[in-house]
Structure 1
Amino acid sequence: MSLQGYQYVVLRCVPRVEREEFVNVGVVLYSQGADFLEAGYAVDEARLRALAPGVEAAEVRDALEAVCRVCRGETGGGLPDLGSPGRRFGWLSAPRSTVVQPGPVHGGLTADPRAELAGLVERMVG
């Protein structure tokens, strides 16, 4: 299998933007060559509670599920209609002031985007 380029962002839960503290909660990976756009996540409730006792893990999971729905191209119910996976990744990786925010865009090469995403979630979030 040939190597494909990819880009990814780590998703962060940033409960109080002014404190610039966050906990990693997910990853979005996009590979144009492999026609792949997916997100994976894991919310460590103990870490989240330690950082921000008032933030509900269920609300963070809901925000992460919305990211997954955008990756799949779902629309409606407040989700944008963005068309191509590249446009959806651009929207997901754009800076925003919400509780779940993307970090900087990084890139690499992989023969298996799905396995790469799982590995990134394990290393960056787990």
Structure 2
Amino acid sequence: MLRLVPDEERGERFNVGVVMLVRSRDFLGFRAQLDRAKLSALGPRLDSREIGEQLSNLRRIADGETGAGLMARLPLHERFHWLTAPSSTVLQPSELHTGLCTDPAMTLGALFNRLVA
């Protein structure tokens, strides 16, 4: 889970993305969506365009796009660990959770719909 933290001192945050790794299927999925109304209410001084670009860049890294820089060239599991490493920025990953699935893309979509959209 990727969360947006508009103001660390207030402790407010909301979900903006899901990152999922299934090594046995060679699958790294990333879906994100910025709720601009929530951002406007909780972090009116933050630039929604800039945050949208950051989310887009993270997706490009997860997808391994050739123009996305050095991180995008890493193996799947290393990209996953980079995307989910603790940080003190406005975009912060939650603690990791494990699970099992038979269809990674469908599970990613279901998690995204339940937790973000």
Mark yes or no: TM-score above 0.5: yes
Rounded to whole Å, the distance in 1 between the matches of 2:68 and 2:100 is: 35
Cα distance per residue 1:1-33 (max 9 Å; x no partner): xxxxxxxxx111112223221111111111000
Q: 2:30 aligns with which of 35, 39, 51?
A: 39
Rounded to whole Å, the distance in 2 between the matches of 1:118 and 1:14 is: 23
Q: 1:88 aligns with which of 79, 85, 90?
A: 79
Does residue 22 of the first structure (1) align with residue 6 of the second (2)?
Answer: no
Letter in 2 for 1:30: L
CA displacement at 1:81 relative to structure 2: 5.4
| 1:116 aligned partner | 107
Aligned-pair identity (%): 43
Q: 1:103 aligns with which of 71, 87, 94?
A: 94
Letter in 1 for 2:107: E
- Runs of 4 or more above 6 Å deviation: none
Distance 1:13 1:79, change over 3 A: farther
Deviates more, 1:17-26 or 1:104-113: 17-26
Cα distance per residue 1:79-98 (max 9 Å; x no partner): 53552100110111100111
TM-score of the pair, normalised by structure 1: 0.84
Deviates more, 1:75-84 or 1:11-20: 75-84
CA displacement at 1:76 relative to structure 2: 5.8
What count of residue pairs does the alignment treat as equivalent? 117
TM-score of the pair, normalised by structure 2: 0.90
Rounded to whole Å, the distance in 1 between the matches of 2:88 and 2:15 is: 16
Mapped contact 1:13–1:60 kept (Cα < 8 A): no
Query: In proportion to residue count, which structure has more strand?
Result: 1
Q: 1:48 aligns with which of 39, 50, 53?
A: 39
CA displacement at 1:78 relative to structure 2: 5.5
RMSD: 1.7
Listed as ranges, the gaps of 5+ residues in structure 1 are 1-9
